[in-house]
Amino acid sequence: MSQKTPYEEAIALLARREYTRSELEERLLRHEHAPDEVNALLDRLAEDDFQSDARFVEHFVRSRIARLQGPRKISAELGGRGIERDMIAQALEDSDADWTSLAAEALRRRFEGPGEDMKARAKRQRFLASRGFDGQQCNNAMRLAWPS
C-alpha cells in the first residue's frame, strides 16, 4: 500500500470541494506529514490558485445566504474555519445581502404568522437569533414578514 504524498492528498481533497488553508493544513498534519513540507505545499497551492481562502469565503457566504442564515452565524462558522475577521467582514459587506429580508423569508417559511402573544413572538425571535440574525434584524423582519 503506497502512502500518498502531501501534494496528492491535498489535490484529492481540493477536487471534492474548496478548503481553507487552515483546514487543509489540519488534515495534512493529521496524516503525519512534516509541518515544513505542509507549509511549503500550501504556499505552492495558493500561488498556483488551487487553494484560495478568498474563493472559499465567497462561495461559503453565498451558500449560507441561500440557506437563509444571518451574518453572525456565517461569521462564526468562517472564524471557526480559520478565516481572518477582516476577510469575513469584507465578504459579508461585498455580499450585498439584505439581512432583514432574508430573516423575514426564514420566518415566513417556518411560521404561519407573527404569533398571538409575547411567548410566540419570543419564539420567533429566538429562531432568528439561532440562525445568526441580530436583534435589530429580528425586529425588522417580524414587521416585514407579516405587515399589519
- What average pLDDT does the chain have? 93
Q: Domain range for residue 80?
A: 52-97
pLDDT at 25 over 90: yes
Q: What is the pLDDT of residue 1?
A: 39
pLDDT at 61 over 90: yes
Backbone angles phi, psi at 89, to 5 degrees: -60, -40
Shared domain for 83 and 107, answered yes or no, is no
Q: Is the CB of residue 53 less than 8 Å from the CB of residue 86?
A: no
Shared domain for 15 and 61, answered yes or no, is no
**Mean of the pLDDT values across residues 23-40?**
91
pTM equals 0.88
pLDDT at 119 over 80: yes
Shared domain for 63 and 103, answered yes or no, is no
pLDDT at 34 over 70: yes
CATH of the domain at 85: 1.10.10
**Listed residue (115, 114, 61, 54) closest to 84, CA to CA:** 54
Backbone angles phi, psi at 22, to 5 degrees: -60, -45
- Residue 26 — pLDDT band, cuts 50, 70, 90? very high
Domain boundary among 36, 51, 66: 51
Q: What is the pLDDT of residue 115?
A: 86
Share above pLDDT 90 across residues of the chain, in percent, rounded to a whole number: 89
118: left (phi over 0), alpha (psi -120 to 50) or beta: alpha
**Mean of the pLDDT values across residues 31-46?**
92
Domain boundary among 15, 36, 51: 51
Share above pLDDT 70 across residues of the chain, in percent, rounded to a whole number: 98
User: How many domains are contained in the chain?
Assistant: 3
Shared domain for 13 and 59, answered yes or no, is no
Shared domain for 47 and 66, answered yes or no, is no
Instruction: Enter the DSSP assignment of 114.
Output: S
Q: What is the pLDDT of residue 107?
A: 95
